[in-house]
């Protein structure tokens, strides 16, 4: 594939720092981009994704689906078409509760307030 067909993408993190830019073929999927983000994530960040499912990519105000390709996400703006695309990264770690946390939550729900008005 000719060098000019590749798309340059950088990823903007929650604190304003960037990962990249990297060159991708238009046929690369959003899932592949997410894998690269997890691999390249800076070690000094407080919030870090543990898996690809923890990441959402946003481009042009839309959350990108894993099955979409980079070519489908690229928006033609005339001469700006060859510019670097900036995608925003949102990290939402999956929340899994331990058994003890679930029991505490259930106990709080069972407590009922009983008020008497005389």
pLDDT digits (tens, 9 = 90+) for 53-103: 889 999 888 888 988 888 877 665 444 556 788 889 999 876 655 455 555
Residue 40 lies in a domain: yes
How far is Cα 20 from Cα 76, in angstroms, rounded to an integer? Answer: 21
Q: Tell me the residue range of the domain where 29 lies.
A: 3-110
Residue 30 lies in a domain: yes
CATH code assigned at 81: 3.10.20.90
Domains in the chain: how many in total? 1
Query: HSE-up of 114 (CA within 13 Å, CB side)?
Result: 2
Residue 90 lies in a domain: yes
Residue 117 lies in a domain: no
Residue 64 lies in a domain: yes
Residue 116 lies in a domain: no
* Residue of 82, 69, 79 lying closest to 8 (CA atoms): 82
Residue 118 lies in a domain: no
How much is the mean pLDDT over the chain? 78
pLDDT at res. 20: 84
pLDDT, mean of residues 39-60: 88
How far is Cα 61 from Cα 63, in angstroms, rounded to an integer? Answer: 7
pLDDT, mean of residues 24-44: 89
């Amino acid at each position: 594939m000719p060098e000019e067909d590749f798309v340059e993408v950088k990823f903007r993190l929650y604190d304003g720092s960037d990962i990249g830019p990297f060159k991708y073929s238009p046929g690369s999927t959003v899932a592949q981009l997410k894998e690269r983000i997890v691999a390249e994530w800076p070690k000094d960040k407080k919030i870090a994704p543990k898996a690809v499912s923890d990441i959402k990519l946003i481009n042009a105000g839309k959350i990108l689906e894993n099955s979409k390709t980079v070519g489908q996400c690229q928006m033609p703006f005339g001469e700006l078409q060859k510019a670097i695309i900036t995608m925003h990264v949102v990290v939402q770690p999956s929340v899994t509760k331990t058994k003890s946390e679930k029991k505490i939550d259930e106990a709080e729900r069972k407590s009922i307030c009983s008020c008497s008005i005389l």
